[in-house]
Chain A
């Protein structure tokens, strides 16, 4: 069993839709959870960073972590064509190390938002 599972999609939605992206994990040591966005031929860029269970909101993006179920989600409200990208979940057992922690990534979900 992989440490982090993520449905690769692809996922295609109309502009304005609410998008739900999910990952499950098996390692209970994971404490820090991240969502990265990766445009084609680019490096990943950090969207959301959360610690332990709970919700975090940033503009149109909401990240949820349920450690009891080992399940994390990213919601995108009012999706835009510019949101079309691959979304990667990433996790780490430690954090707050200035970005020097080892990250374990999911496979990524390819999202297309159609105008």
Chain B
């Protein structure tokens, strides 16, 4: 079992550009949550997808959007990148209605220049 996989591992973008990050959940998991972890900070919840719908959303602007595919994998899209969007973006997967924990991927480190 490969666990939660995220791609790419590192990314450098220019202010104003758009970026797409990808996540494949752990086998058997059907929910995907995205977190932003700025340097020296704890992860902050962006949103969660279940059954291809956004189920919960944190305090992030509409520039942050996502998608979940029928195979449960997910994408995080960020438009009009700002320098402050530079962070480690973490994906966590879980199995809804089951007694199990959330598993985190290794993250995608995004640098906006």
List A residues at the B interface (Cβ < 8 Å). Answer: 4, 6, 8, 36, 41-46, 49, 88, 90, 96-108
Contact = CB atoms under 8 A, between A and B. Distances in A.
Nearest to B49: A100
Interface in B12-32: 29, 31
Interface of B: 4, 29, 31, 33, 35, 40-45, 48, 50, 56, 58, 90, 92-107, 109
Given A99-B101, A108-B41, 11 more contacts: A41-B109, A43-B90, A98-B94, A100-B48, A103-B33, A103-B35, A103-B45, A103-B92, A105-B44, A106-B42, A107-B42
Nearest to A42: B106
B40 A107 contact: yes
Closest 3 pairs (CB-CB, A-B): A99-B94, A99-B102, A105-B42
A88 B35 CA distance: 14
A100 B50 contact: yes
Most buried by B among A41, A88, A96, A97: A97
A97 B101 contact: no
B4 to A, nearest CB: 7
